[in-house]
Amino acid sequence: MEKEILFERNPPIATISLNRPRFHNALTWAMYDGLIEICASLVDDSEVRAVIMRGAGAKAFASGTDIAQFTEVRTGADGLAYEARLERAVGALEGVKQPTIAAIEGYAVGGGAALALVCDLRYGGTSAQIGVPIARTLGNCLSIANHARLLNLLGPAITKELLFRGRLATAEECHRAGVLNEIVPDGQAYARALTIAEEIANNAPLTLQVTKESVRRLQATDDQINGDDLIEKVYGSADFREGVEAFLARRKPRFRGM
């Protein structure tokens, strides 16, 4: 069986590839855990100066957590455990000392959006779309940490508009908002990210690390707020169970606010 997450180390550049193209790179627990291991291996790696994350194939960076895994989430406590597990993976990528670059082709949705948004830079094809459409799909919620990340990038108005409407932002919208550093022709996102990574890798590594850590410390405030009660409320609801069942049955969910 082909590995679901790949790590290619060619100093001074390393590339992480989400490798389930048949499933639009939907993220499994094994992929999240593999990402944590890869990020840990980069901590003391002085030869790698920049890291690129990409999705295999042309249709998606990552389409979010594999929904089949949500059948295990039945209570508020299960929801807290899921969000904690997701945060370990997202936080591991966010904490990589080297500059990280997301090469986005197609969809970056849900957990995939979270991974793309914690990268330092993002380059996307013209068909790239980014968002968290949970209000019209599963009926779950983001953690406080992921709300904070969206707010830092987009501001409150755009964050609320995307989440309330459950829609995906186009490449043009993402570029205007500063989420995408640049739009390139479809199929060229990885090549552009590689060019930028090579440029960055020639710069002073300590300057890069201190710049990244300084920005992180300046932004690290809102994500410390406790939102466990909010996660428990949503993940323990009948609406969330309905959302998962409807998604797997390929029908529109019937949310009742319960």
Query: What does the pLDDT read at residue 226?
Result: 83
What's the rounded Cα separation, in Å, for the pair 258 and 84? 24
Query: What does the pLDDT read at residue 202?
Result: 96
Kindly state the average pLDDT of the residues 66-75. Answer: 85
In tens, the pLDDT along 163-222 reads 999 999 999 999 999 999 999 999 999 999 999 999 999 999 999 999 999 998 888 765
Which residue ranges make up each domain of the chain? Answer: 5-201
In tens, the pLDDT along 24-48 reads 999 999 999 999 999 999 999 999 9
State pTM to two decimals: 0.93
What's the rounded Cα separation, in Å, for the pair 247 and 239? 12
Query: What does the pLDDT read at residue 219?
Result: 80
What's the rounded Cα separation, in Å, for the pair 13 and 196? 10
The CATH class for the domain spanning 5-201 reads alpha beta
> How does strand 169-170 pair with strand 121-125?
unpaired
What share of the chain has pLDDT > 90, as a percent?
71
In tens, the pLDDT along 111-134 reads 999 999 999 999 999 999 999 999
- pLDDT for 1 beyond 70: no
Query: What does the pLDDT read at residue 69?
Result: 83
What's the rounded Cα separation, in Å, for the pair 151 and 62? 21
Query: What does the pLDDT read at residue 131?
Result: 95
- pLDDT for 105 beyond 90: yes
Integer angstrom CA distances of residue 50 from 9, 30, 46, 206: 10, 24, 10, 12
Averaged pLDDT of the chain? 93
pLDDT band, residue 223 (cuts 50/70/90): low
Query: What does the pLDDT read at residue 220?
Result: 75
Question: Which of 30 and 74 is assigned the larger pLDDT?
Answer: 30
